[in-house]
Structure 1
């Protein structure tokens, strides 16, 4: 059996690519690929919601694992801390075995980017090191500028649910679009909550990601025409790896102002 390429699954998890009919058919019948996609979607979800997380100072053991994984010299064994001069004399860092001298080490503050790449890199490092505290060296201190809101939707509960919410659409100067979803309720039923864009008659749908907590921000694929997919839907999904809509929607509303 030929499984789906991991890079393809990563783009699907990021809502940057739609699968072909043949790929969708394989995904529905392959537990390995559906499990891989589910894990990637959770990584993307963690990355996209990391901007609202209060970071904690990592334990010294976190830097110890980074130090060991990268094979760094003993001269930089001490955990780097913000506001502490971590530069060392190049002669001390002389790597006689490799015949090289490493440049002085220092902690550099990196500006936060809105896109997923820095967060995904941090998430991969967390998977190796086993601690989310490692992301402190990649998280920026400056919040991004808010984007213009170009459309909004009131999200109303569907039968059987007590919930409400709001969705609004943002677009940057390069035309990249994000939908922000706020939902009050529906999180106590267990399983997962997934955000979808639907056609007006609900015959077509596109998943944009999993909602963890009350608020989520999701990128909209460039090829999606929101005039054709104006409905924002949040569904309750069993944690079974099936990428299809469960048919059990919690809230739903139509974007106005498009």
Structure 2
């Protein structure tokens, strides 16, 4: 998102309600803006810590630091991979002029790259930690909502989600409904066609409003593309009661 990609609906909703993640997104956007900005002599960038170059050099097997980079011992010579290092004569030795004005843009770009790299490393390290925490601690209901499709609520206090997983003989329909009404009966899950005139009973919801129900291979899901959850009385009749709670297409 910091690079300009559009977020998913669930991510956009989370950002609206999570100040911590909004702050991290803005911090990353500032890094991207700094990296994309044109060259300027008055950009107030921070000096990266000395240990940053040490880590980069170790990872890339470099023997020298780039111009403008700060090392643990305060040196800043050119960086060359160890396996490809070779001495190149200085411009003066090659007979080429080396005016200070010609050298400054190159040094500025190198130093700026080091600074942006340092900022990215610091910010991404912090973001990774908090992102993992978010994914681990976020509620199961929010995770389910992000991976499934919301059903239409036919009763104001009820909300539901449904998704289809697997293929062939190993398909399963996952349904979750919150805000179930009080009843002396039970809640049945159905697959319907779009006209709501043809339906197949799939099974009952658990007391907590959840169910993972196997879908027979001979059911044509191109025709039965709608999920319905109804409240059913214990009257021994297999027919739909006509009292639906949630209904709509499932994800998958």
Q: Specify the TM-score bucket, using the shorter chain as the normaliser.
A: 0.3 to 0.5
Return the structure number with greater relative CO, CA threshold 8 A, min gap 6: 1
Q: Please say which structure displays the higher CA radius of gyration.
A: 2
TM-score by length of 1: 0.38
TM-score by length of 2: 0.39
